[in-house]
Structure formats: C-alpha cells, structure tokens
Amino acid sequence: MKADLSQILALVQCYFKGLHDGNSEALRPLFHPDCWLKAPGLRRSLDEWLELVSHRTSPADKGDEFAYQVLAVDLLGQQAMVKVLCPLFEHTYIDFLGLLKEQSQWRIVNKMYADLPHTYQE
C-alpha cells in the first residue's frame, strides 16, 4: 500500500509539472487513452484537452507560481481517487483524478474538474 501511495503521488507530481510547463507529451502517458475530462457542462477527450494544453502559453512561461497541491488521496486496492488544487492562470481548479492500477502501472482514467474562487481553502 505504501509503494502504491508513493507511485500515485509521483504520478500526480508529474501531472502538476506537465500542467505548469504546458507539456502535453509529458502529460499523455499519465492518462489512459480512453480517458475523458469532465467539468460541469463540458466534456473533452484526452486528445482534445492535450491539444488545448499544447497551444496555450504555459503557466511557467507566464511566470506563474508552482502552487499545486494534493488535497486528499483515497486508495483502495488497485483504484484511487486523488483530489488536487490546480491554480492555473486566473482560475483555481479542483480536480478529482480517478486512477486505476492496470498491468502494474497507475494511470488517470477519469478527470473531473471545476473552477473555484481564489479564496478556496481546504
């Protein structure tokens, strides 16, 4: 269980770095290919989302602070739900990342997210 938690947290740090750097090629292997990204009233395929990430100015290029946080991890066997805070541009997103461990590898199989005011505090 400890090894799985460490692997999940490492994956999430790669997710944060990929978001911050706008690096869609670093983000792609973190996700299962059939993952859909969902927000209230919005659905995107992984490919659609990665295309958007690759064509926007990255937070790193804008000089934004790296202030991403893991808020919670719920791990049971080969499935996990990770709640993260992602301050991107003028938004503060809360992401719920659903992960499965398949073929000895953790990957994001579902991402739900919503924008919150910058005053959000856990």
Q: What is the pLDDT of residue 91?
A: 87
Please give the C-alpha separations between residue 47 and each of 51, 53, 56, 70, 92, in angstroms, as whole numbers: 6, 10, 15, 25, 23
- Per-residue pLDDT reduced to its tens digit, 4-60: 999 999 999 999 999 999 999 999 999 999 999 999 899 999 999 999 999 999 999
Q: What is the pLDDT of residue 108?
A: 99
pTM of this prediction?
0.91
Chain Cα centroid distance, residue 32:
12
The range of the structural domain enclosing residue 106 comes to: 2-116
CATH number at residue 93: 3.10.450.50
When divided into structural domains, the chain yields a total of 1
What SS3 state is found at 55?
A: coil
Residue 11 lies in a domain: yes
pLDDT band at 117 (very low <50, low <70, confident <90, very high): low
Residue 49 lies in a domain: yes
Residue 121 lies in a domain: no
